[in-house]
C-alpha cells in the first residue's frame, strides 16, 4: 500500500501476505474542515445485542428483587445485580415491563419455553414447531439493522456465542436445536451460525488470503499476521500526526494482545492432559477468559469498523454450566428452577451479576475508545437481556433488559423507564431501529413505537 495523501478514506486497509488490517477512525480520515464542522459530522451508529439465559431475579419475594432498581425516571439508583455498571450508569437505561408474547406457549406448541425464549428475543416471533429442516422464524432485528448500517463494512454482522453450536435434532419438546443455537436469522428460514472459537473469529476479522491451515501454520511459527503488514504500517505511521500515531499504536498493541492470548489458549489446549477430543482449538481454559477475549474481539471489530452490528449469546437456554469461581456449583438451568429456595435465588442473582460484570468490562472499554468527537460508547447502543424473566415459572413478562450507550446523541441515560405492563418488547426493538436511523414501520408483534427520548408510546396507525 502506498499512501500519498494526508487525507485517508474511512475504509482504509493495510494488506499483507495472508492478512488484512482495517484501521480505526483517525483524524486523517476526517476532511480538513474546522473543528466545529468535524463535531457536526454524523457519527457512525452501532448496535450490539447480548443474551443471557434463564431469566433473572426480577420476580423474587418482597425484599429479594435484585434486578429492578427502586423508583423510576431520573437519578438512577442501581439494584444489586446492576451495581457493576455504576461507572457508566449515566449512559444506561433500565427497561421494565416488556414482554415477548410469542415466547409464551399457546396450548398447541408444547412446553418449550426455553427454546421460544431464545428464538423470540430478537425476532419477536413464534418459532415453527418442528424437529426437521423446515424451520421458520423471522428476520431478526440485528439483521434488519445490519442491512442499513453495514452496507460499506467488510462484514455484514458478527454472531458469537460462548457455547458450542453443534447441537442437532430435537432439543426441546419438538423444536429443532437451531432455535437455541443462534440468536440471528437473516430471513425467516435462514438461521446464522454463531462462532465460539476466538481463533476463527480473529481469522475472519483479519485473515485475507491463503487457507485457514496455512494461516495457522504461520501462527505456529510465532509470526504475527501483523508482521506481514509491518512495512506498510510503518510507512503509514510516518505520514500521520502525533494523535493518529498514538491511536494506531494503541490499536496495533490491542490486536497483538488479542492474538497473543489466542495463541496462549491454543498452547494450553495442545498441552492439556485432559482428554477433550471435541474441544475446538483456540478456546481458553476458563469461561471468564473466553468471554473477555470475545468482548475484546468485538471491541477491535468496532474500532476498525469491520462491522457495526453484533449478537452475542452468553449462554444457551437449558445450559447446565456451573460458575464455581463465583460460588455457584450447581448448573445454571437447575438453579433457575429455584422453587422459592433463597439459596437458589441467591445463586441466580450471582450469575446475573457476573454476566453484568462482563457487560461492564466491555462497555467501559467502549467508553475509553475515541471515535470521532466522542467515544465508541457515545455512538453505540448495546442491549443486554434475556427472553425469560422468572425461570422457575418460565415467564416471559417483565423481561430483564438494560440498554447502554449514547445512541449517537439520541439517548439520554441514567434512567429507569417503567413501561405499562405487558408492553411488547417488539416496540422497544422498533424504537432501537429508529434510534439507529434504520427505517421500519412494524416489527414482529409490535403495537407501537417506543421513543426512548422523550419517553412516549405512539400508535403505528
Distance CA 350, CA 362 (A): 19
C-alpha cell at 47: 448496535
pLDDT at 226: 67
pLDDT at 111: 79
pLDDT at 457: 39
Terminal alpha carbon distance of the chain: 53
pLDDT at 39: 42
Does residue 252 lie in a domain region?
A: no
* Strands 46-51 vs 380-385: parallel, antiparallel or unpaired: parallel
Does residue 18 lie in a domain region?
A: no
Does residue 358 lie in a domain region?
A: yes
C-alpha cell at 170: 430435537
Does residue 407 lie in a domain region?
A: yes
Contacts of 112 (CB under 8 A, 6+ apart): 105, 129, 172, 173, 174, 175
Task: Find where cell 490499536 sits.
Answer: 251
Does residue 153 lie in a domain region?
A: yes
Which residues on neighbouring strands pair with residue 158, listed in sequence order? Answer: 310
DSSP 332-370: HHHHHS-TT-HHHHHHHHHHHHHHHHHHHHHHHHHHTSE
Q: Which residues of the chain have pLDDT under 70?
A: 1-25, 27-41, 59-64, 165-173, 207-229, 261, 264-281, 453-461
Cβ neighbours of 270 (radius 10 Å): 9
C-alpha cell at 412: 439520554
Distance CA 382, CA 358 (A): 13
C-beta separation of 381 from 403 below 8 A? yes
CATH number for the domain harbouring residue 187: 3.40.720.10
Task: Find where cell 426437521 sits.
Answer: 132
pLDDT at 36: 37
C-beta separation of 445 from 101 below 8 A? yes
Does residue 26 lie in a domain region?
A: no
Q: Please tell me the total count of domains within the chain.
A: 1
Kind plus residue range of the DSSP H or E element containing 231: helix 230-238
Q: What are the φ and ψ backbone dihedral angles of 417, each rounded to 5 degrees? A: -105, 115
Contacts of 346 (CB under 8 A, 6+ apart): none
Q: How far is CA 459 from CA 367, 382, 417, 449, in A?
A: 35, 25, 19, 7
C-beta separation of 444 from 423 below 8 A? no
pLDDT at 419: 93
Does residue 16 lie in a domain region?
A: no
Does residue 32 lie in a domain region?
A: no
As to burial, measured by CB atoms within 10 angstroms (0-12 exposed, 13-18 middle, 19+ buried), residue 327 is exposed
pLDDT at 3: 35
The domain of 80 spans 42-196+283-454
The residue among 352, 366, 367, 457 whose CA lies nearest residue 402 is 352
pTM above 0.85, yes or no: no
Amino acid at each position: 500500500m502506498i499512501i500519498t495523501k494526508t487525507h485517508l478514506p474511512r475504509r482504509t486497509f493495510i494488506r499483507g501476505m495472508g492478512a488484512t488490517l482495517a484501521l480505526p477512525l483517525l483524524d486523517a480520515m476526517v476532511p480538513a474542515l474546522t473543528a466545529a464542522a468535524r463535531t457536526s459530522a454524523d457519527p457512525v451508529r452501532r448496535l450490539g445485542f447480548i443474551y443471557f439465559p434463564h431469566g433473572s431475579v426480577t420476580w423474587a419475594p418482597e425484599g429479594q428483587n435484585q434486578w429492578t432498581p427502586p423508583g423510576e425516571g431520573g437519578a438512577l439508583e442501581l439494584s444489586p445485580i446492576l451495581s457493576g455498571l455504576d461507572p457508566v450508569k449515566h449512559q444506561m437505561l433500565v427497561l421494565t415491563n416488556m414482554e415477548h408474547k410469542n415466547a409464551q406457549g399457546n396450548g398447541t406448541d408444547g412446553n418449550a419455553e426455553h427454546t421460544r425464549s431464545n428464538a423470540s428475543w430478537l425476532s419477536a416471533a413464534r418459532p415453527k414447531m418442528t424437529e426437521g429442516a423446515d424451520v421458520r422464524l423471522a428476520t431478526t432485528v440485528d439483521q434488519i439493522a445490519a442491512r442499513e448500517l453495514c452496507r460499506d463494512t467488510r462484514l455484514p454482522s458478527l454472531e458469537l456465542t460462548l457455547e458450542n453450536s453443534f447441537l442437532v435434532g430435537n432439543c426441546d419438546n419438538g423444536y429443532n436445536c437451531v432455535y437455541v443455537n443462534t440468536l440471528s436469522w437473516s430471513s425467516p428460514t435462514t438461521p446464522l451460525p454463531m462462532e465460539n472459537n476466538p481463533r476463527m473469529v480473529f481469522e475472519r476479522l483479519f485473515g485475507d488470503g491463503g487457507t485457514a491451515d496455512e494461516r495457522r501454520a504461520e501462527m505456529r511459527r510465532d509470526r504475527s499476521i501483523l508482521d506481514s503488514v509491518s512495512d506498510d504500517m510503518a510507512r503509514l505511521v510516518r505520514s500521520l500526526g502525533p494523535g493518529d500515531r498514538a491511536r494506531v499504536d494503541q490499536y496495533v498493541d490491542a490486536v497483538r494482545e488479542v492474538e497473543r492470548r489466542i495463541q496462549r489458549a491454543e498452547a494450553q489446549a495442545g498441552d492439556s492432559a485432559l482428554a477433550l477430543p471435541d474441544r475446538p482449538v483456540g478456546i481458553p481454559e476458563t469461561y471468564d477468559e473466553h468471554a473477555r477475549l470475545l468482548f475484546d474481539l468485538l471491541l477491535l471489530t468496532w474500532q476498525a469498523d469491520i462491522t457495526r452490528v453484533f449478537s452475542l449469546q452468553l449462554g444457551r437456554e437449558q445450559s447446565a454450566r456451573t460458575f464455581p469461581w463465583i460460588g455457584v456449583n450447581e448448573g445454571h438451568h437447575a438453579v433457575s428452577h429455584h422453587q422459592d429456595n433463597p439459596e437458589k435465588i441467591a445463586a441466580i442473582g450471582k450469575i446475573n451479576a457476573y454476566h453484568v460484570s462482563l457487560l461492564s468490562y466491555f462497555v467501559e472499554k467502549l467508553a475509553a475508545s475515541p471515535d470521532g468527537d466522542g467515544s465508541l460508547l457515545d455512538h453505540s447502543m448495546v442491549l443486554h437481556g434475556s427472553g425469560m424473566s422468572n425461570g422457575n415459572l418460565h415467564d416471559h413478562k417483565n423481561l430483564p433488559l438494560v440498554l447502554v450507550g449514547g445512541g449517537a446523541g439520541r439517548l439520554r441515560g441514567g434512567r429507569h423507564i417503567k413501561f405499562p405492563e405487558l408492553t411488547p418488547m417488539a416496540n422497544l426493538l422498533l424504537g432501537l431501529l429508529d434510534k439507529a436511523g434504520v427505517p421500519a414501520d412494524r416489527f414482529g408483534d409490535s403495537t407501537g413505537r417506543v421513543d426512548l427520548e422523550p419517553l412516549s408510546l405512539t400508535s403505528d396507525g
